[in-house]
Each structure stands twice: as structure tokens, then as C-alpha cells.
Structure 1
Amino acid sequence: MKSALDIVILGLSITSSWGNGHATTYRGLVRELAAQGHKVTFLERDVPWYGGAHRDQPEPQGCRTILYAGLDELFETHAGLVRDADAVIVGSYVPDGREVGAWAQATAKGLVAFYDIDTPVTLAALENGGTAYLAADQIPGYGLYLSFTGGPTLTRLEREFGSPMARALYCSADPDIYRPDEQAERWALGYLGTYSIDRQPTLDKLLLKVAEALPERKFVVAGPQYPGDIVWPRNVERIEHLPPGEHRGFYTTQTFTLNVTRADMIRAGWSPSVRLFEAAACAAPIISDHWEGLDELFRPGREILIAHSTDDVVKALTEMTPESIRALGLRARTRVLAAHTAAHRAEELATHLREAIGRRAVVSRPSRRRVAAAARAGA
């Protein structure tokens, strides 16, 4: 039996899903890590916008969660946790992440890894001086780079940025939470996602213009931060925030759900969103924009539909039979159950951590031998 790992995660948020996709990913991951016997501590910066009513899961299952007020408290109070862990994982978008990462690399005796839930955005920023949570010269100091993006990006991280080991760790879905539910259609097509200026043209093309073309059908867009100057067609309902507990009901009352990808992620490819897996786990038939690597996750035409134009979506809504639409969603759920659950990701993470820990031990052995030989020579 493989030994359990003591893991400390410094992430953006696990207690609040408000305006971020990090929390749901972390929640599933730590729950399944705990189920597999690992010990997990999650350190989260206590910030006002994730507090109060926005803190929708103050005590996540599977980990000890600690909120800290700032860097001084983190460095002074929680150094022991970081020092003694088998593996410390610093996440993307952590407040003052550069300082947190530098401290973790200097403090931890075990492996220090970086978990990038925003890899394409990160790499684009690194080309222009870096981000507030990661500098390019910090990457070689992380013994493992866990990336939400797979494919050629992993090779680039190792060759161009000097990562000792880069591995994909995609998001996932919990099939116990995200599952089918026979409900009457409420919307013909819906989209769930925080506003993003680079996603908006695709949302306009694949949902808003479709709503205009099909005025007798109902549509919905859920998510915060949409500007007040957007003109929504009358048959498009707006939901400002949809907590995770309501996602399943959202997906299972749509004929189709829409997946729209950020521009940086389209350029990188191999960058699935958590909403993609969650909707598929609900057997919600999915229409998506196209990006490289999507066909390695779901089979186009069999498990997912790819749309390039407004007409593509209109045809799906008006020409496909209810039976073929339902079969599309069920095949997507089968794929998720086989490869994309939180349990799969937790197992992959533990495997990557053990490999990186093993590599680190091999690299350090010659140094220990040289130190011992030097000591004997000086005796």
C-alpha cells in the first residue's frame, strides 16, 4: 500500500465560489485526496469579497481549512505546516503569490509545486513581465508544475521556462453531485460563466444571436460582472450568481448548455473548463466552441457538438430529435465517469507528487554523497 502524503495547499479560495472557478476544483480534489488516505491542509487568504454571504462553503470536506489575514500571519504562524509537509502546492491567483511562492520554496523541506488553474493566462503574462502570483524565474524552483492545460504547453513549460517537471492536472466533476435529473425544459440553451471581454463575442454569436433568431424559445446566461451596457434579448434571462448547489438544476433544465472558452485557452488548446465536465456529468448535451485537444476529451458529434456559427446552434436546436439530443448527453456522462471525476484527478495528483518527490530525492543524493566525502576528507 502506498504511503499517505501530508499536503499543504495555498490556494485562491476553497470556501467561496464567488466569481472564480478555483473553489469547486479544490473542493473535489481535497475531498478525494482525503478519501484516498492523504492529509490535506488548505491555507486561504481571508479577503472581503470571498467573505460573508459569498462564503458558500466555510468548512469544505476533506481538509483542514485555515484563513489567514495577510503575509505576516502566514509567515509567522503557519511556517511549521509548510516546513514539515511532504508536498506544498501554491496555486495561481493567490494574493501576493510571488511572495508566498518564494517563502514556500525557502521554508519547505519537502516538495514545492505550483498548481496553475489559469495556465494560458499565466504564460501570456509571463511574456510581458510576469504576474502578481508568479515570476518566470520562480518556475525552476517549483519541483512540479501542475497545469490546467495539457498538450504542447507542458513541453514549453519545461524547455522554455525551466520547470523540472510539468504535468497536466485538469479540472473534474463530482458524479455524486453532478448527475442526470429528468426535469421539464426551462431553457433551450444556457451559459454559466463570469463575464470575460474575450469570451463575449462568442457568447454573442452562439447564444444572443440564436435567441434573436428563435424568439419563441427561452435562453439564460448566469454569472457575475457583466457590464450594464449589454443589450440582452427579451427571451434571455439573466442570473447574477449561481452557487454550486444550484448548478445541477441549471444544467438539467436546458435542452443544450453552451461552453465558451477564453481566447488564451483557445490559443493554447487542451484547456477544458470545470463547467464542461460538470455539465457532461449531468448528461446535459453540450455545444462548444472549438479548440485543439477537445476531441481528446469528448468525441465531436457523439459526445459533444462543435459550433462555429449562429446557424450551427440554430440547427441543433431545431433539427435534432429529443432522442438524439438525450443520447449525446448520456454518452458525455459516460466519458466523464470513465476519466474525468475528482477521484481520477486526486489519484493523478498523488502520482505526480510521488514522482516529483522521487526525482527530488535522486537529484539530492549525489549532493549528500559529496558532502559526506568532503567531511571525511577534512577529518
Structure 2
Amino acid sequence: MTRIAFYGSSLLSSYWNGAATYYRGLIRQLARLGYEVTFYEPNVYERQKHRDICPPNWCKVVVYDGTKAALKEVAAMAREADVVVKASGVGFEDDALMDHVLAAARPGALRIYWDVDAPATLAELRADADHPLYRQLKEVDVVLTYGGGKPVVQGYRAFGARECVPIYNALDPETHYPVRPEIRFRSDLAFLGNRLPDREARVDEFFFKPASMLPNQTFLLGGSGWDDKPRGENVRYMGHVSTRYHNAFNATPKAVLNINRASMAENGFSPATRVFEAAGAGACLITDAWAGIELFLKEGEEVLVARDGKDVAEILVRLDPVEAEAIGRRARARILRDHTYTHRAAEVDRIISRHVRPPRVEAAE
């Protein structure tokens, strides 16, 4: 059995951690392929106080204190793994963690850097000639990314990566699926996302602007950090929404809005987890425009695309519930066919199998 040591932000909590469902979907499916995964996550940002799930039976989770001593202790455990993964955005001493993990990995182990925000990372590399990742990439065998397509692959290769492969977000049908609507999530348009510096201006444009243009329609905002954001009377703020309520959040409104962060939108080919979660719940999805969306959903039939806030308002005015339901139904069928974590885990398995010998043992069904 191939053992993976995975160092990431959090598997147990989505609090200030948009990658949670990405990690869960991939690791659950890798476990089904026979991998033994241990996920190491720091106890920071009060994530452990806002757990969405209990430690699962398909992955061992080690939570360590946010101290340098604890970091060194868990990094040393990398020596026991056949595959060592350091994800970006862990949130505590990322550069030091990367160095310690790479140093601890035994000879012959596959060393992976998994970037869940590749466009932003590449921008940092371009701006900082002394960035630690320049040095660290020389010790990494494979770079996997949250998405990004050819622009990200070309960018990483230009900075010295031996191999770079996008592993896109996807749907876990066991966790995101249609449910009965809940009154508390009833609205014409709902958006779920944390307040981040490179997203806020786009949220102003794609969410708050149409809300101001359509005072007779109702808007629902979920996510952390928006408490003091000025908003109209037709905008209701819910705060952090646990992943256990995402299905109802997506299934209840007439439409659900996806807004990419600026770096993701500019790069393209980077569908957010929300795209697949919403489609999995059968939601009618409105998304901001970004290059590559046609690889995942067909515009006008499976997703509605807005270039600005005015487009969002116009879409809402003409969108009736029957059409919205049909769009959501077609989106769900497309995602189930082509974009589940079963598909993504198979890609990761092929990459690992090229590097790790002897071949892994298949898990019994």
C-alpha cells in the first residue's frame, strides 16, 4: 500500500479554508484506490473550533499546535511516506514547513508541491527573485495545481518545475447533491465566499451592484468577514456557512453566484469549488466570465455567464424558476459525467504510479 503524507491547511474545517472540500473529495477517492493517507494540519485560525466533519475513516488526520517545535515534529513524519505532499497556503510557517518536509522525505519518495492558488503564487515569484520556492522547486518532483490550465503549466516550467499538472476541482456526489429547499436560504441570488482582498472589488461589482440595481429582488450573502460591509435592505448576511449546509444553500435560491478571485479570473482555467458544489446540488449557476469555462460547463445551457454586475442584473430579471431549474439539472448531469473526484483521483493515481515503485496494492471493495 502506497503511503501519502499530506501537509495542508485543513481537512476537518472549511473555516477560512476554501480548499477543504477539494482535499476531502480527492483524498477520499485516493483512499478507495488503495492509498493510505495521513493529513497534517495546524491548529490555527480557530479552524478546529469550526470543524465541519469528524476525523474520517478514509484518512488519518494529525492536528498539530501552531508552534515551530510541533511543526518540526510532524514534518519529520514525512520520512515514513512513499509520497510526500506539501500544499500551498497551510497558514503557518509555510516556507519552513516546506523546507523541513523536503529534508525529511526519504530517498526515493515522490515529492509533490500542490499549489491551491497557482496564479497568485506565480505572481509572487515574478515579483520576488529571492522567493524560497525558487530553491525548493529544485527538490520537488512534481507540481500539482488546483487548476490554471496551460498558463499555469507554462509559468511553473519557466520557473524550473520538472513537471506541472493541473488537478481541477470537481464534485463529490456523496457530499454535494440536491436536497429540499430551506426557508432560511430562500433568495433570488445567493453568493458564498470569504471576504478576501483580491475578491472584494469583484464581489462589489458582481453581487452588491446588481443588488442595488434590483431593490425588489432578494440577495443572500454567506462567508466569513463581511460583518461590517455596507449593504442594502434586500441583502441578508448569514456569516460562515458550514459545509453541512452547502447543499441547502445551493438548492434553495433561484440562482447561485460564483465570483472568482482576481488572480483566478485573470488567469482563467480555474473553476472554484463552488462551481461544482452548486452544480452538484442542481443549482442554476451564474458565474463571472473567465477563460476555459467551456471545458467544464456549456454557457447558456449549463451555466449563465456574466461579464459585469449589469449582466448579473439582466440575467436575474429575465430568469424564471422553470428555466433556472432546467439549467441546474443539465449542469448536474454534465458534472456527474465528466468532473467528479473519481475522475481527478484517477489522474493523480496515474501521476504517482509513474514515479512510485513497486506499484500500489488495490484496496478491496
Same fold (TM over 0.5): yes
After TM superposition, list the pairs within 5 Å mapping 1:47-58 onto structure 2: 47=44, 49-52=46-49, 54-58=50-54
Amino acid at match of 2:111: V
Q: 2-side partners of 1:158 and 1:308: how far apart?
A: 29
Matched residue of 1:135: which SS? Answer: helix
Amino acid at match of 1:165: E
> Could you tell me which residue of structure 2 aligns to residue 202 of structure 1?
202
CA contact (8 A) 1:140 1:161 kept: no
CA contact (8 A) 2:180 2:248 kept: no
Amino acid at match of 2:339: H
Q: 2-side partners of 1:181 and 1:324: how far apart?
A: 18
Matched residue of 1:241: which SS? Answer: coil
> Could you tell me which residue of structure 1 aligns to residue 101 of structure 2?
104
Alpha-carbon distance change, 73 to 15 in structure 1, aligned in 2, over 3 angstroms:
same
After TM superposition, list the pairs within 5 Å mapping 1:20-31 onto structure 2: 20-31=17-28
> Could you tell me which residue of structure 2 aligns to residue 366 of structure 1?
none
CA contact (8 A) 1:14 1:60 kept: no
> Could you tell me which residue of structure 1 aligns to residue 361 of structure 2?
none
Deviation at 1:180, TM superposition (A): 1.8
After TM superposition, list the pairs within 5 Å mapping 1:95-244 onto structure 2: 95-109=92-106, 110-129=109-128, 135-183=133-181, 186-226=186-226, 228=228, 230-244=229-243
Cα displacement string for residues 180-207 of structure 1 (whole angstroms, at most 9, x for unaligned residues): 2353781000100001233233322322
Deviation at 1:102, TM superposition (A): 1.7
Amino acid at match of 1:10: Y
Deviation at 1:78, TM superposition (A): 5.7
Alpha-carbon RMSD across the aligned residues, in angstroms, is: 2.1
Deviation at 1:130, TM superposition (A): 7.4
Amino acid at match of 1:33: L
CA contact (8 A) 1:144 1:353 kept: no
After TM superposition, list the pairs within 5 Å mapping 1:291-306 onto structure 2: 291-306=290-305
Q: 2-side partners of 1:344 and 1:61: how far apart?
A: 21
Does 1:64 pair with 2:64? Answer: no
Q: Which moved more, 1:172-181 or 1:299-308?
A: 172-181
> Could you tell me which residue of structure 1 aligns to residue 363 of structure 2?
none
CA contact (8 A) 1:122 1:131 kept: no
Q: 1-side partners of 2:333 and 2:265: how far apart?
A: 25
Amino acid at match of 2:300: G
Amino acid at match of 1:160: A
> Could you tell me which residue of structure 2 aligns to residue 38 of structure 1?
35
Aligned residues: 351
Rg larger for: 1
Does 1:317 pair with 2:316? Answer: yes
Matched residue of 1:30: which SS? Answer: helix
> Could you tell me which residue of structure 2 aligns to residue 275 of structure 1?
274
Q: 2-side partners of 1:51 and 1:158: how far apart?
A: 33
* Percent identity for Structure 1 against Structure 2: 33
CA contact (8 A) 2:75 2:100 kept: no
TM-score by length of 1: 0.86
Amino acid at match of 2:89: Y
Alpha-carbon distance change, 263 to 310 in structure 1, aligned in 2, over 3 angstroms:
closer
Amino acid at match of 2:181: Q
Q: 2-side partners of 1:329 and 1:82: how far apart?
A: 43
> Could you tell me which residue of structure 1 aligns to residue 360 of structure 2?
none
Deviation at 1:227, TM superposition (A): 6.0
> Could you tell me which residue of structure 1 aligns to residue 326 of structure 2?
327
Cα displacement string for residues 300-319 of structure 1 (whole angstroms, at most 9, x for unaligned residues): 11111111233322332222
CA contact (8 A) 2:52 2:244 kept: no
Matched residue of 2:345: which SS? Answer: helix
Matched residue of 2:348: which SS? Answer: helix
Amino acid at match of 2:340: T
Alpha-carbon distance change, 39 to 129 in structure 1, aligned in 2, over 3 angstroms:
same
Matched residue of 1:21: which SS? Answer: coil
List, as ranges, runs of 4+ consecutive aligned residues in structure 1 with deviation greater than 6 Å: none
Alpha-carbon distance change, 104 to 78 in structure 1, aligned in 2, over 3 angstroms:
closer
Q: 2-side partners of 1:108 and 1:200: how far apart?
A: 39
Deviation at 1:67, TM superposition (A): 1.5
> Could you tell me which residue of structure 1 aligns to residue 258 of structure 2?
259
Q: 1-side partners of 2:60 and 2:118: how far apart?
A: 27
Q: 1-side partners of 2:138 and 2:282: how far apart?
A: 41
> Could you tell me which residue of structure 1 aligns to residue 15 of structure 2?
18
Deviation at 1:48, TM superposition (A): 5.2
Can you give the 5+ residue segments of structure 1 that lack an aligned partner in the other structure?
A: 359-379
> Could you tell me which residue of structure 2 aligns to residue 84 of structure 1?
80
Amino acid at match of 1:210: P
CA contact (8 A) 2:202 2:262 kept: no
Q: 2-side partners of 1:330 and 1:290: how far apart?
A: 21
Amino acid at match of 1:202: R
Q: 2-side partners of 1:318 and 1:302: how far apart?
A: 17
> Could you tell me which residue of structure 2 aligns to residue 365 of structure 1?
none
Q: Which moved more, 1:37-46 or 1:67-76?
A: 67-76
Matched residue of 1:20: which SS? Answer: coil
